[in-house]
Amino acid sequence: MNEASKRLRLGVVGVGHLGKHHVRLLKELDCDLVAVADPSQACRDFVQQTHGLPAFADHRELLGKVDAVSVVVPTRLHREVASCFLEHGVDVLVEKPIARTVADGQALVDLAERHGRILQVGHVERFNPALRGIAAIGSTARYIESQRLAPFTFRSTDIGVVLDLMIHDLDLVLALVKSPIVSVEAFGGAVFTPAEDMASAIIKFENGAVAHLTANRVALKPLRRMRVFSREGYASLDFQTAQGMVVTKAPGWDFQQLDLDRIDRAQVGDLWKFVFDGLLKVQNLKLDTGNPLQEELVDFLRCVRERARPLVSGCDGVAAVQAAEQVLAAIARNRWQ
């Protein structure tokens, strides 16, 4: 059996809230989920009773038993745990953010390169089908507005809201804009935890694009919304209600050639028909199709088999943390008294 076709042995390190979903989905995919590791006896008992898998308290017990692992531990442990597996020739999918600091993230990238290992970062929003629908708009984006709000969950309290929630949108914006950051202005503060629980940032890029991102993990209701504007049109995505829309100019659009005098602009119905039937193309997006986490895991397995570059590489993960550090530095300059 050649390397690309052999049955992969997978492990999951950290089987708390998110890790349990990794376990459930990997059980359904084309691989052998052979064991998990977690220091919590309750988490180990759950996996053993629910899935019949061996469960160890120490992640090092998985060495020699697995070809690849999902690392779903608290962010402060990402470098330590992922390094252990990379050094021993195991491919790694590490949940976002790749690490707490750029230095720690880059250390993982360097380690993966040195040992010839796959390193993928769990920025699951990249696998959301809605993003494929806005690819054309996103590649020429000039203004991006994003809101990501969530009720307080008592999870991920080892990091603030920038590395916890805003990191998703920082990664998405970097993937869409593909231009260096030239300035960051941000404001935020702590509400329930020692770290910042809400943050707002305005990020300007070398190519002229601007992104305005808001994140809040002490909101009363969840909200995940993004709008992308470019000269080609605009896209509006509401992940919470699973609704989306892309509006683009119809072929042959030429505003200078429009005969506006023939339109009775007092008749809203006529104006709407004129604009949206003839001048603009409206595409409704289905946001509730597919399973982004499952697609992420499928991509990881493919990359391990084919030794291919992941959609979200270790370098991408470091770039997102680097942007997050710029946001955090700006927040520090405007710290609450």
Q: What is the pLDDT of residues 69-122, one digit of tens each?
A: 999 999 999 999 999 999 999 999 999 999 999 999 999 999 999 999 999 999
125 vs 319, higher pLDDT: 319
**What's the CA gap between 215 and 327, in Å, rounded?**
12
Tens of pLDDT, residue by residue over 237-259, are 887 777 788 888 766 555 555 55
Q: What is the DSSP string of 62-93?
A: GTTT-SEEEE-S-GGGHHHHHHHHHHTT-EEE
Is the pLDDT score of 270 beyond 80?
Answer: no
Cis peptide before 97 (omega within 30 of 0): yes
Is the pLDDT score of 182 beyond 50?
Answer: yes
Specify the pLDDT at position 336.
Answer: 67
265 vs 89, higher pLDDT: 89
Specify the pLDDT at position 237.
Answer: 87
How confident is the model over 156-172, as a mean pLDDT? 91
- Determine the 3-state secondary structure of 120 from DSSP: strand
Residue 242, sorted as left (phi over 0), alpha (psi -120 to 50) or beta, turns out to be: left
Specify the pLDDT at position 296.
Answer: 97
Is the pLDDT score of 287 beyond 70?
Answer: no
Specify the pLDDT at position 259.
Answer: 57
- 9: part of which helix (H) or strand (E)? strand 9-13
How confident is the model over 181-185, as a mean pLDDT? 98
Q: What is the DSSP string of 201-244?
A: EEEEETTS-EEEEEEESS-SS-EEEEEEEETTEEEEEETTTTEE
Specify the pLDDT at position 25.
Answer: 98
Predicted TM-score of the model (pTM): 0.88
For the chain, list the domains and their CATH numbers: 9-125+292-311 (3.40.50.720), 243-286 (no CATH)
7 vs 262, higher pLDDT: 7
Q: Could you give the dihedral angle defined by the CA atoms of residues 100, 106, 108 and 109, in that order, rounded to the nearest 10 degrees? A: 140
- How distant, in Å, are the alpha carbons of 112, 180, 226 from that of 308? 13, 25, 30
Q: Are 146 and 228 in contact (CB under 8 A)?
A: no
| Percent of the chain surpassing pLDDT 70 | 87
Q: Are 187 and 200 in contact (CB under 8 A)?
A: yes
- 56: part of which helix (H) or strand (E)? strand 55-56
Max alpha carbon distance in the chain (Å)? Answer: 76
Chain centroid to CA 27: 23
Q: Is the dihedral of CA 249, 253, 259, 262 positive or negative?
A: negative
**What's the CA gap between 291 and 300, in Å, rounded?**
14
Lowest mean pLDDT, pick from 52-61, 132-141, 257-266, 281-290: 257-266
Specify the pLDDT at position 247.
Answer: 84
Query: Residue 190, class by beta-carbon neighbours within 10 Å (0-12 exposed, 13-18 middle, 19+ buried)?
Result: middle
In the block, which residue shows the tokens 């061996």?
Answer: 54
Specify the pLDDT at position 268.
Answer: 45
Q: Helices 19-28 and 41-51, interaxial angle, to 10°?
A: 20
Give ∠ CA 325-330-333 in degrees, rounded to 5.
Answer: 130
- How distant, in Å, are the alpha carbons of 46, 254, 279 from that of 251? 56, 9, 8
Specify the pLDDT at position 229.
Answer: 93
Buried b (16+ CB within 10 A) or exposed e, 294-306: bbbbbbbbebbbe
Of the chain, the end-to-end C-alpha distance in Å amounts to 64
In the block, which residue shows the tokens 């309290």?
Answer: 157
